[in-house]
Amino acid sequence: MISCKNLVKEFKSVQALKGVNFSIEGNGCFGFLGGNGAGKTTTIRILAGLAKPTLGEVKVLGYDIVKDKEKILKSISYLPQHPAFYDYMTGEKWMHFIGELYGFDKQLIKERTEELLKKCGIWDARNRQISGYSGGMKQRLGLAQSLINKPKLLFLDEPVSALDPIGRHEVLTLLLELKKEMAIFMSSHILEDVEKIADEIIIIDKGEIILSSTIEDLKASYTHPIISFELLEPVENLSSILKNENWIVSIQEVSNHYKINVREIDIAKIHLPKVLHNAGAIITKYEIESSSLEDIFLRLVN
């Protein structure tokens, strides 16, 4: 689907991408993560043919992005972070306009417009001018129009950041369904959402890919299980007692709430209650958590 070899992008004085290497294959959802200014949008803009690579080889759907751009554009779609439209058009008119750019015939455009506007929940607003749409509605229209060519590969730049919680949930549900039929390459910094729908994760930091892995492998190899517990009242010196145990990686302490990262969950399960008992602590809450993508991301990027 995508292969980037040593992709470099330089702007006047800065090197935004310093040799990006990664590839993705097959359908599914690929989460593209990174902090602000890490190079996410630049990479996506190059993959969608809006910007040109300074150096390196970029192939999308097997075609070279510089030489065969027009072949690629037929079978991909790109939705920018802030989709913009001709505001004087209605939602339906915009769909027809985009359909005509692909050279589809009227009947097909009509069918897909109805299907997609309904799917994205803005069918009722189809006859209103886009200038009157809310941010969430524009995002939905953006998604609907990006599906009109049934893309094999869909680029989404922060697709859910502008939506309210209900809208986010709806769009994520829709993406879960779509990823069966196409590859979705999605950048986001809402890691919770990426965790829900992504199959693979690619993390970029300061213009370089620092990780590319399936979400299961990532969790298996990068996470330390977390045990959190709450005590009836704070126990003096508990942290320093815990720090002496070699199966503990780190401790976070907020009054009588404790959160500890452990190396081996099985050892911790046996030893932690003993240690707490010996320290004279009275446990009111005890929970074993798996660490979230956010924990992993923060640990990797810092």
Partner 1 sequence: MLKKEIYEFIKLHKILIVPISFIFLMVSQPITLKLLPKIIKNGLPKDAVIHIPIPSSAEALSTVFGKFESLGVIILILISMGAIAGEREKGVAAMVLTKPINRTTFFMSKWTAYSILTILSFIIGMIITTFYTVNLFHNNIDYSNVSLAIALYIPIILLVISISLFFSSFIKSSILSGFLAFVVYLVVMNTPQFLFTKHDAIFPSDLIKNANDLIIGKSITFLLPLIVVILLNFLFVILGSYLLNKQEI
Instruction: State yes or no: residue 48 binds partner 1 (CB under 8 A).
Output: yes
Stretch that binds partner 1, among 12-20, 85-93, 168-176, 179-187 (CB under 8 A): 85-93
Out of 98, 117, 183, 194, name the contact with partner 1 by CB under 8 A: 98
For partner 1, the binding residue among 5, 8, 35, 51 (CB under 8 A) is 51
Smallest gap from Cβ 78 to partner 1, in A, equals: 4
By the rule CB under 8 A, 188 interacts with partner 1: no
Residue 159 in contact with partner 1, rule: CB under 8 A: no
Interacting residue with partner 1 among 30, 78, 229, 297 (CB under 8 A)? 78
Give the one residue of 49, 91, 167, 207 binding partner 1; rule: CB under 8 A.
49
Applying CB under 8 A, does 45 fall inside the site for partner 1?
yes
Interface with partner 1, residue 61, by CB under 8 A: no
Asked if residue 285 binds partner 1 (CB under 8 A), the reply is no
Complex with partner 1: residue 11 or 286, whichever CB lies closer: 11
- Closer of 104 and 247 to partner 1 (Cβ): 104
Contacting partner 1 (CB under 8 A), which of 21, 62, 102, 217? 102
Q: Is 17 in the site for partner 1 (CB under 8 A)?
A: no
CB of residue 112 to partner 1, shortest distance in Å: 14
Q: Contact at 8 Å (CB) between 8 and 18? A: yes
Measured distance CA(300)–CA(249) in Å, rounded:
16
Q: Answer yes or no whether residue 257 interacts with partner 1 by CB under 8 A.
A: no
Q: What is the DSSP string of the chain?
A: -EEEEEEEEE-SS-EEEEEEEEEE-SSEEEEEE--TTSSHHHHHHHHTTSS--SEEEEEETTEETTTSHHHHHHHEEEE-SS----TTSBHHHHHHHHHHHTT--HHHHHHHHHHHHHHTT-GGGTTSBGGG--HHHHHHHHHHHHTTT--SEEEEESSSTTS-HHHHHHHHHHHHHHTTTSEEEEEES-HHHHHHH-SEEEEEETTEEEEEEEHHHHHHHH---EEEEEESS--TTHHHHHHT-TTEEEEEEETTEEEEEES-HHHHHHHHHHHHHHTT--EEEEEEEPPPHHHHHHHHH-
Q: Does 82 bind partner 1 (CB under 8 A)?
A: yes
Q: If binding is defined by CB under 8 A, does position 269 make contact with partner 1? A: no
Which residues in this chain contact partner 1 in the complex, by CB under 8 A? 45, 48-52, 70, 73-74, 77-78, 80, 82-86, 88-89, 97-98, 100-103, 142, 145
